[in-house]
Amino acid sequence: MKITKRLCYFIFLAFVSMLFSCKSATKKIEDSLYSRHLQRNMPITIISTSVPDNKSDYNLLLFNQTSMLDVVNAQKIIDSLFKKKQIQPLIVVAFEGKSGPINNEYGLSNMDNNDAKKYKKLHDFIINELYPFVKKKAGVRKFNTVGILGFKNAAVAAFDVCFNNDEKINKVGMFYPDFTIEAANDSITLANIGASRKRPTINIWVTDVATSFTTKQFCEMMQEKKSIQNLTYYPTTEVFTNNKNRLHQFAAFLLWAFPQ
């Protein structure tokens, strides 16, 4: 079969087009930051879309659990949504606090117990160290929108950070929140949240199994706070271990938090 120069040219164009369509719109780098609050070096993973013409168009998502990045296939989903122009320019900064029965750092910083000191240290790291570090590294004076998310206990910690710092962070994603934190059961945790007189202007995304009574109680409590700008409750029949379900939930959160 004779292949003409014209046909070779079209094949070449098709190949170049395929290469560009497969090119990633995001980049991922590993970094670290020493925390004086936590007294240790904190590894940080950064996923960012291409730099916008105006850096103030960048949005920031503080991802409160680096170990969950791969679980929700974060980079691939962000890349896909950004290529389709469904989300705005975004920087995701992932970090990991300590978890477990002894050294857990995920909780409410206003709880009336000794463990609250640990929660407050992670809280202060996020606001006083990580947030300024990211702004400087990105060369941004002010992000367009700043959100934070977490899973299980880290979801409650993410809410705590957003709730008490709404002048900096105004969106929070809570995935399968676990309100039982160490010695405090879910009733004690909810009581602490309800006792706060603060009226932050924030937006809350909550996803959990539809049978979670505690999560429903939390949502009802938030609806009573008139300052809450938006509360989106995303009930599901699937547990978080369902791979397809968790990918869909993360994508849905991004479309809610940073829509184009």
Q: Is residue 7 part of a domain?
A: no
Q: How many domains does the chain have?
A: 1
CA angle 180, 249, 122 (to 5 degrees): 45
Nearest to 21 by CA among 89, 77, 87, 83: 83
Local structure of 40: helix, strand or coil: strand
Q: Is residue 214 part of a domain?
A: yes
Q: Is residue 3 part of a domain?
A: no
Share of the chain above pLDDT 70, in %: 87
pLDDT digits (tens), the chain, 260 positions: 444 545 444 434 444 344 344 578 899 999 999 999 999 999 999 999 999 989 889 999 999 999 999 999 999 999 999 999 999 999 999 999 988 767 788 888 877 667 788 889 999 999 999 999 999 999 999 999 999 999 999 999 999 999 999 999 999 999 999 988 766 677 888 888 888 888 889 999 999 988 899 999 999 999 888 889 999 998 887 766 656 778 889 999 999 999 99
- Structure tokens given for 22: 């497969």
Q: What is the pLDDT of residue 184?
A: 66
Q: Is residue 1 part of a domain?
A: no
Q: pLDDT by residue (tens digit) across 113-169?
A: 677 888 899 999 999 999 999 999 999 999 999 999 999 999 999 999 999 999 999
What residues contact 31, with CB distance under 8 A and at least 6 apart? 43, 44, 45, 46, 137
Q: Is residue 45 part of a domain?
A: yes
Which CATH number characterizes residue 90's domain?
3.40.50.1820
Q: Is residue 178 part of a domain?
A: yes
Instruction: Show the domain range for 91.
Output: 23-257
Q: pTM to 2 decimals?
A: 0.87
Q: Is residue 137 part of a domain?
A: yes
Q: Is residue 239 part of a domain?
A: yes
